[in-house]
Structure 1
Amino acid sequence: MKAVVQRVSEASVVVDGEVVGQIGPGLAVLLGVAHGDTEADARWMADKLVGLRVLEDDAGKMNRSLVDTAGEMLLVSQFTLLGDCRKGKRPSFVGAAPPDAAEPLYERVVALVEGQGVRVATGRFRTEMRVHLVNEGPVTLLVESPTR
């Protein structure tokens, strides 16, 4: 699994003109599920995302997690994170899991994060989405499960 994680003051996702997910301060996460990812990858990713200490403490240092701050997470599936652009001008997506394998693992990450007490808002799997966010810092991280 691959994730792009951004610290945000607010974020939302819109489908067909309707806001389907919205959060206040926390993390906006774009998540790509790779071919061959497993339950272990989902568990690792959920634990990593919930525990990332990238939110500011009272001294302005990145030292708090979502759990520490009651922060929220916007979690959006994005297979294009697995795009390979090393050859030619058109990305190859052969590394991305097919939708029938990716969706249950994406949903599993959502459930695992929620199971740790974090409020999660989502987009809609396999739809055209518009993601709006205000990146704080800016703080943007790339996170990959160990099997990548």
Structure 2
Amino acid sequence: MTRVLHITVACCLLVINQATRMHRCELARVLYKNELDGYEGYSLNDWICLAFVESKFNVSKINENADGSTDYGIFQINSHYWCNNYQSHSENYCHVDCEDLLEPDLISSINCAKKIISGQRGMRNWLEWRLHCAGRPLSHWMTGCHLR
């Protein structure tokens, strides 16, 4: 009986923990459709690289940080500045609930990311982008993707 209970609990946890991942080219099409290619001088390659290094294309990723803030969604947008998670103080510059950044249509994530990169730091707001994408050849991110 105990073994059945453990297996049942494990299965429930697997279902709860399943990530919503997008395929690289699917993400490229969504970003292109939402006019991110060239937005503030950043190519689709930059956006795809950002999504990969931040979340591995996981739309539903949530990461709790040591400072008490939380990062949400495919771009790992931080609750302290950009969205409201109703758990800690937030500037909520994007005027969005953090949970909305987990939606598979990506509209809230895209709109908030546009606001983030419109500031003077651009994509440099994301440490992982600075470390793994900035100044590197990125054309391979679009290989095999057809946008139309």
Q: TM-score range by the shorter chain?
A: under 0.3
Q: TM-score when scaled to structure 2? A: 0.23
Whose helix proportion is higher, 1 or 2? 2
Whose strand proportion is higher, 1 or 2? 1
User: Which structure has more RCO (C-alpha within 8 Å, separation ≥ 6)?
Assistant: 1
